Structure 1
Amino acid sequence: MRIAIAGGGLGGLTLARILHRHGIEAVVYEREPHRSARPQGGMLDLHPESGQRALAEAGLTDGFRSWARPGGEEHRILDPAGRTLVHHTPEPGSFAGRPEIDRTVLRDLLLDSLPGGTVAWGHRLTAAAPRPGGGWALTFDGGHRADCDLLVGADGARSAVRPLLMEADLIPVATLVELTVRDADRRHPGLAALVGPGNLWCVGVNRVLAAQRTGDGSLRVGITLRPDGTPIGTYRSRDALLDLFAGWDPRLTALIEAADTPPAPRPIQAMPAGTRWAGRPDLTLLGDAAHLMPPVGEGANQAMLDAAELAARLAADPGTAIPAYEEAMFARIGPIAEMSARVQAMMLSPTAAGDITRFFTRPAADSTR
């Protein structure tokens, strides 16, 4: 079976790695020209039941633990006046929770575990046509062509493979503006201390100002806003962003003022919870291509678990793998997508500070953290 994986993100690479461990080779077609073509984002907390489980099946637990930062799980939530609402401190050095790892480091760990030539860089899929005898004829930007027996769409929110199975109406759920404060410990020690080793959320009415520490000593600052029809270009102005947080504690707005990069806004969308498609035996989706959710901590973890479950089924019985994988995935993702939508709405509500405090201080048996 010739397997083509569209997309070299965490889900696609995890699938390729676990298939390789089962003696099944695949080609990952990635649109980026090389692994360092663009930043991969900030930190990611890997959950034991999903992301860490997938890495265990990939044989990469030791590598993960050598790079992960358990202290990065520390999480503080403040109100606009700078008062602490929640302060979660992990057990020092413990991997029992959800340790953080830089996305770039995790992606490199997966890339380095694959045989040379597994990833075809600079291959943006532009068309896929069913072949008369089954499988797919693939066409890439620039005219390159390839065939496969099974096509897996792991190509993210704006998947080129998804339309082959369904038309999904994406729902706007937020506007995200990102900035970076470099070399924070040396240049902005006060901000570094404020953020700490993990994540900081400052929750106001219909908006969140957040920051997280990355492995290179930078602070990644994120502003999340309700989608209210404001032109996205408005948020490219630092002054416009500061106006949104007028009256907030100056220690918090200093995260915007100290940023070394210009504000980078982008819309955040999600698929309706419960989205399904009519299956095909030679085509499937995983990760954001299959179940794009609000970014509240589940997306990458579920993509990696999708990959682990799909790989296991392909290794056990290729003939029934796709329908069995999809039924199990739909059942698993449904409640997670609904929870993610509730959390996203809660974070951007007029009563967010109280709602979020109650959410994160529930008894451990009822909490998602």
Structure 2
Amino acid sequence: MSEAADFLDFLRATPSSFHAAAEVAARLEAAGFSRQDPGTPWDATPGGHVLVSGGATVAWWVPASASPASAFRVVGAHNDSPGFVVKPKAEFTAAGWRQLAVEVYGGPIIPSWFDRDLELAGRLALRDGSTALVRTGSIARIPHLAIHLYRSNDFEPDRQRHVQPVLGPEGTGRPLKESLADAAGVAVGDIVAADLITVDAQGPAELGGMLAAGRLDNLTSVWAGLEAITAASREVPEGSDVLVLAAFDHEEVGSASPTGAGGPLLTRVLERTARALGADGDARAAMFERSFCVSADAAHSVHPNYPEKHDPGHHPILGRGPVTKINANQRYSSTAVTVARWRAALAAAGVRGQDFVGNNAVPCGSTIGPISATRTGVPTVDVGVPLLSMHSARELCDPADVAGLAAALTAYYRL
């Protein structure tokens, strides 16, 4: 299977952060990684290991030569994307319509979600304490108001009143809980609670060499990191460094959660691995000092209709390679030293790269990079695949850039 086809399959299989976490783990287990239960003794034997925590996945590959003199080579990404999360009292009626009560998650481009077929995806918490993944297929829609009733081009929907999807006229259809139970293959009475987010039901589509799809921010990076650690573990690097892939949850809402980059997840994995290799106290701290992290998150392509929003000297564009993201105010974690190391990986992979620096008058976003670097103290560089329509229900990328990022991350693991 080609890289592009595999990436499309990955996108289709990962409508929520929970699905992405499970898919990453399943693919790594198929490649020979073993599942780690965080509540049991830690496994740092040679080979690959992976754990799933909610909507996050962390994997680590330990070479036979690993010791307290080793370091960690980390790739960090995130599994979540903006959208609308279903509220606990999920269904209500208004003006003769059944509707879905939702809360805005992160910073979606809200108008892009109107008039799209929506499915719900996420996890169900069951009465026996277990969870089940669920996706409903097309089930709802946020309808625009007809132009005849709203004769203005200034469309500014109210974030509470205007974004509640319709399920159908009152008195039609099935209760949502029944649809969820059928989709997950569980009994209605076993569902206690749910974590559900809206997803554009339309699948990925190729547009003259480009790719349109939902959740490219940040599944482009998750897939690239997954490809890289799988490839690097097959072709064993000569060094003794432990290779790590961390795909967090909740980046779009600040990363402050047990499974976010601001939580303890990555630090615990690194510390427990170091201890299992015999590094305690100062030796463990020294392992962190020798380590490095690539924070991989989607980057902005210059927009041809709004070039004034970009720095005039830095115009990343689709198809011209992964982007290195730099910001003097530490919205990105890149420094001259970390950028130099990333450029060495690009050169080793034979992949060209681009730089993004924001327009001084236009604030940029941020990533897990500064958060993870602050928490762990590990030097970090911020990189990513250039996108148009970032945070839209449907974003745009060039698959060649995704493959280029995977190749550069593989080279980074091997250097």
Give the TM-score taking structure 1 as reference length: 0.28
Normalized per residue, which structure has more helix?
Answer: 1
Give the TM-score taking structure 2 as reference length: 0.26
